[in-house]
A = this chain, B = another copy of it.
Amino acid sequence: MRMSRTDAARNRERVVRTASEQFREHGYDGVGIAALMQAAGLTNGAFYKQFASKEALMAEATEQALAANAAAWDEVLARAGDDPLQAVAQWYLSDPHAGHRGPGCTYAALAAEAPRHDDPVRRAFDEGLRRTVGQIEAAAGDGEEAALRFLARLVGALTLARAVSDPELAARILSANAAADAPT
């Protein structure tokens, strides 16, 4: 049955938000339209009334995920003391973040799959990355190159820590990288 305009818009937004978490948790290929719609409390039939294709949803969901990540960074940075990068690193490389991929970092969860997808998805990463680098630059003031090194190290460390089977090895990866300004 038909919904009101505002209800429909709310449903659409809920689908995007659900997708942004499901994709981060199971990968773009790991979640189908039917499962996704069900997780959002709807059925597959409603999908193509709201989105042109799965690829289009992937782009929107990635934007949404990166925006949520940026908000989380802002919150951590706002609470940080005199060493904001240290605060970000310790939060980013914490056990809770390593354990919960769905609400976590989009780079660590989906960036490796991005090159296999269309431009709208990859453009979302462009925009998100520029924003994240800007946040780091504003917090540290070391310039773009230093920000790109910092971010790369965090993303790589979280990805590797999540990949390994041995929890003790994962903990060493995280702790070795939790020092924000360590060399190499």
Query: Which of A's residues lie within 8 Å of B, judged by CB?
Result: 26-27, 29-30, 85, 101, 107-116, 119, 122-123, 125-126, 129-130, 140, 142, 144-146, 148-157, 159-160, 162-166, 169, 172-173, 176-177, 180-184
Q: A16 to nearest B CB, angstroms?
A: 20
Q: A156 to nearest B CB, angstroms?
A: 3
CB contact between A152 and one of B26, B130, B157 (< 8 Å): that residue? B157
Q: Assess the B180–A184 pair: CB atoms within 8 A.
A: yes
Give the docked Cα–Cα distance between A54 and B114 (Å).
23
| A184: B residues at CB distance < 8 A | 85, 140, 142, 146, 149-150, 153, 180-182
| Interface of A (DSSP majority class) | helix
Q: Assess the A125–B176 pair: CB atoms within 8 A.
A: no
| A165: B residues at CB distance < 8 A | 119, 122-123, 125-126
* Copies in the assembly, this chain: 2
| A114: B residues at CB distance < 8 A | 162-164
Q: A124 to nearest B CB, angstroms?
A: 9
Of the listed residues A30, A101, A113, A150, the one surrounded by the most CB atoms of chain B closer than 10 A to its CB is A113
Q: Assess the B111–A160 pair: CB atoms within 8 A.
A: yes
Q: A179 to nearest B CB, angstroms?
A: 8
User: What are the 3 tightest A-B residue pairs by CB atom distance, in nearest-first order?
Assistant: A156-B156, A152-B156, A155-B156
Q: Assess the A176–B113 pair: CB atoms within 8 A.
A: no
Contacts A110-B112, A184-B180 given: A129-B169 contact, CB under 8 Å? yes
| A145: B residues at CB distance < 8 A | 172, 176, 182
Nearest B-chain residue to A154, judged by Cβ: B156
Q: Assess the A122–B164 pair: CB atoms within 8 A.
A: yes
CB contact between A111 and one of B112, B119, B123, B180 (< 8 Å): that residue? B112
Q: Assess the B107–A27 pair: CB atoms within 8 A.
A: no
